Structure formats: structure tokens, C-alpha cells
């Protein structure tokens, strides 16, 4: 089997802690993996003066997949925007051509009581949010008079960012959504704000045109404010949700909380050839960094997505997913998903438990794989 090269980018805050557990699990699979680590985000700024150094970018470009931790810290908030840690992930998406962000929101049976909603609303929840990554307001032309000293706008009267989408950008993400729906329940909800924004009237029109090529898939259009409401009112009515960059950022975090904790949510960002960057949906959480209490499961599950989508190792991915379910069934919980009657463990202990379950998989476990 050909060696598969993985760029490991732990980043900042809890990134190093959760990444250590994911790497531990990957190494236990005994696959021909070559893992190389490089700094990114604030750690890279401290080391090289830029959140995405050329050496890190080249490593990511040469790899078969990228496993990413988290970036950011409050101490960098006064830097000019181009040097802030978060620019690393935006730069990687741009340079690697990553345009489709898969964010599954699955409520595992063992965590229905950890959700902020009633168990009957989230039991069996399995949503796939597909977020477009290269257009929208995040990449529109910004305007404002920001100072280079503290990154703010003293004395300015206005600032604005332009929202834009091109036809090819919308068409390709629509194809991804309809194709993903065919592997699931043949339903797509396209989320927009077409009643107010011309950009999203254009989005709605193009998605509708692409839908004509997928007559077997049901398509509904929904305004983003209604979608936000329905996610907490009747979340199981959704299956595949496709939307723009900003709406997808917000809605996927909302959906994450339906599952019990954002610490459970993996994600994948893919290019046209399914090469991807894989990361937990949560951030760097500098307030708990170094305490050994962060939940590593989202990163471990992101590694499973990497094995499935980019490295063509679905059996290995299923082994990891089953091991995670086994650990949850044992009642082990990090602080973010802990409840009375379960056992609270730290970051390393949770990683060790997944590793033990992986090496001695219990027979008869039901595998809940991430569809898409």
C-alpha cells in the first residue's frame, strides 16, 4: 500500500492537546501513514512572524490530507487582520482550493440527554450541513480605515464588506449537496436570504437550475432566519443543508449544540478531487488550554472523516467511529458532555479509552457512520 502523507497542524490553545490524541489513534491503525507536524496560527506567528508560513503551506500542499487543530488567542486581537491566527485557515482554504465544508451534526444515542433540547427532539438526529467556503462576505472586498497599530478604526465613520458569489461557485457546491443527498435521504434544504439580498436571490436561482439535473432529490428553499428557528424547533426535518459561507458558519455551530457539545463535531473541507483539510468544529478555547480537560472526540472523528473521504480507508474510519461509540457507551465523558451518573475524564484519558476500544473492539457494537 502506498504511503499516505498527512500534514499535522496542531495550532493554538487546546489544539496541541486534542491533536495528540487523534495522532495516537491514527498510529494505532497500523496503516502506512507518514505524519509531519508544522506550526500554524498564533504558534506560527510567534515562530515565523506569520500565521501561515511558506514552509507550512508547502507541507499542506504536498500532503494527501491535512489534519488541523485550532487557531486563535485573545492576545492576538490587536494584530492587523492579515497577521491574526485565523488567517491561517482562510489561507489554507484558498491555496488548497477547498470549497466544500462538510459539517455533520449527529446526536449519539448516549448523548441525547446532553443536548439543550428535549431528548425526543434530538434522538436519532443526523444532519449534514454543507457550507460553501470560497465566496460570500468573508472574501468580498473590505472597506474601512483600520490602523496598523491596534487593528481598529479610530475616528472612522463607516466600514463595510462586500458579499459576492459567482455562478461556478454556486453550481459546484450545489452539485456536491445533491450528490451527498443521493447517499442519504434524497433531500436538500438550500438556505438563503433571497427576500433581502440580491446575492442570495442569485444563489437561489442557480441552485434551482442545478436541481433540474437531480429530479430524484427533493429540494426546498428556506430563509436563514427560519432555518435557525427550525433547527431548534424541529431539527430532524433537515437532512442535507447547503448554504453560503457566513450562514453556514453560524448554522453549523447552532446545529453542533443540538448534539450535546460542539466538542463532538468533526468537519471536512474538500477540493474538487476530495483532498481535504479536517478539523474539529470548535475553536482553540484558550480559557481551558493546558488544563487537560478538552474533548478530543471531534478531532478523532475528524481523523475518521479524513480516512474515509481523502485516503480511501472506510474500514479504518468505521473502526474509529465504533470505538468512539464504545467509549460513550461505557459512560466516559469529558467535562463538556458530563452529566450525573457518568464518569468524568480528561483529554488524555478519553484518548486512551478510544485507543483501548480500538484495539479491543467489542463485538456486537452498532456502527453509526457519518453519511455523506
pLDDT tens digit string along 213-230?
999 999 999 999 999 999
User: 214 and 249 in contact (C-beta within 8 Å)?
Assistant: no
What pTM was estimated for this model as a whole? 0.85
Q: What is the set of active-site residues?
A: 138, 193, 225, 249, 253
Question: Does 367 score more than 60 pLDDT?
Answer: no
Please report which confidence band the pLDDT of residue 261 belongs to, taking 50, 70 and 90 as the band edges. confident
Question: Does 305 score more than 90 pLDDT?
Answer: yes
Gap between the Cα atoms of 168 and 356, Å rounded: 46
Domain edges within the chain:
1-99+271-372, 105-262
Class of 1-99+271-372 per CATH?
alpha beta
- The answer to whether domain 1-99+271-372 and domain 105-262 are alike in fold is yes
Question: Does 371 score more than 50 pLDDT?
Answer: no
Please report which confidence band the pLDDT of residue 158 belongs to, taking 50, 70 and 90 as the band edges. confident
- Calculate what percentage of the chain has a pLDDT beyond 70: 93
Question: Does 362 score more than 50 pLDDT?
Answer: no
Q: Which three cell numbers stand for residue 370?
A: 457519518
Question: CATH 3.40.50.300: does it fit domain 105-262?
Answer: no
User: 241 and 191 in contact (C-beta within 8 Å)?
Assistant: yes
Alpha helices (runs of H) in 167-313, residue ranges in sequence order: 167-182, 198-211, 224-233, 245-258, 297-309
Tell me what the mean pLDDT of segment 23-45 comes to: 97
pLDDT value of residue 140: 77
User: 104 and 309 in contact (C-beta within 8 Å)?
Assistant: no
Tell me the HSE value of 123 on the side-chain side, using a 13 A CA sphere: 4
Alpha helices (runs of H) in the chain, residue ranges in sequence order: 15-28, 42-48, 54-62, 87-96, 119-122, 167-182, 198-211, 224-233, 245-258, 297-309, 314-329, 347-359
pLDDT value of residue 151: 60
Among 88, 128, 125, which Cα is nearest to 109's? 125
pLDDT digits 0-9 by tens, 263-302 = 899 999 999 999 999 999 899 999 999 999 999 999 999 9
Please report which confidence band the pLDDT of residue 343 belongs to, taking 50, 70 and 90 as the band edges. very high
290: number of Cβ within 10 Å: 11
Amino acid at each position: 500500500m502506498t504511503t499516505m502523507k498527512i500534514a499535522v497542524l496542531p495550532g493554538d490553545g487546546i489544539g496541541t492537546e486534542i491533536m495528540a490524541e487523534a495522532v495516537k489513534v491514527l498510529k494505532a491503525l497500523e496503516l502506512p501513514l507518514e505524519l509531519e507536524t508544522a506550526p500554524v496560527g498564533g504558534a506560527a506567528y510567534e515562530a515565523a512572524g506569520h500565521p501561515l508560513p511558506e514552509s507550512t503551506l508547502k507541507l499542506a500542499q504536498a500532503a494527501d490530507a491535512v489534519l488541523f487543530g485550532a487557531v486563535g488567542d485573545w492576545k492576538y486581537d490587536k494584530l492587523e487582520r492579515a497577521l491574526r491566527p485565523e488567517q491561517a485557515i482562510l489561507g489554507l482554504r484558498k491555496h488548497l482550493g477547498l470549497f466544500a465544508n462538510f459539517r455533520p451534526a449527529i446526536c449519539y444515542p448516549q448523548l441525547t440527554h446532553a443536548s439543550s433540547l428535549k431528548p425526543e427532539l434530538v434522538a436519532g438526529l443526523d444532519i449534514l450541513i454543507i457550507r460553501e467556503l470560497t465566496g460570500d462576505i468573508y472574501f468580498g472586498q473590505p472597506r474601512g480605515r483600520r490602523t496598523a497599530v491596534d487593528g481598529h478604526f479610530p475616528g472612522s465613520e463607516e466600514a463595510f464588506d462586500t458579499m459576492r458569489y459567482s455562478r461556478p461557485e454556486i453550481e459546484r457546491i450545489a452539485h456536491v449537496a445533491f450528490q451527498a443527498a443521493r447517499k442519504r435521504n434524497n433531500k436538500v434544504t438550500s438556505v438563503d436570504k433571497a427576500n433581502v439580498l440580491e446575492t442570495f436571490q442569485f444563489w437561489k436561482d442557480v441552485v434551482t437550475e442545478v436541481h433540474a439535473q437531480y429530479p430524484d432529490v427533493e429540494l426546498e428553499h428556506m430563509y436563514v432566519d427560519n432555518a435557525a428557528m427550525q433547527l431548534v424547533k424541529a431539527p430532524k426535518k433537515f437532512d442535507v443543508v447547503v448554504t453560503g459561507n457566513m450562514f453556514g458558519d453560524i448554522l453549523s455551530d447552532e446545529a453542533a449544540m443540538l448534539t450535546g457539545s460542539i466538542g463532538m463535531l468533526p468537519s471536512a473541507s474538500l477540493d474538487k478531487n476530495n483532498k481535504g483539510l479536517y478539523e474539529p468544529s470548535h475553536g482553540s478555547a484558550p480559557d481551558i488550554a493546558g488544563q487537560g480537560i478538552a474533548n478530543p472526540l471531534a478531532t478523532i472523528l475528524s481523523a475518521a472523516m479524513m480516512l474515509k473521504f481523502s485516503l480511501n480507508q472506510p474500514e479504518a474510519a468505521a473502526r474509529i467511529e465504533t470505538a468512539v461509540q464504545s467509549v460513550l457507551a461505557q459512560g466516559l465523558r469529558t467535562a463538556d458532555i458530563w452529566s450525573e451518573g457518568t464518569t468524568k475524564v480528561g483529554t488524555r484519558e478519553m484518548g486512551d479509552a478510544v485507543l483501548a476500544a480500538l484495539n479491543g473492539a467489542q463485538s456486537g457494537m452498532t456502527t453509526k457512520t457519518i453519511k455523506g
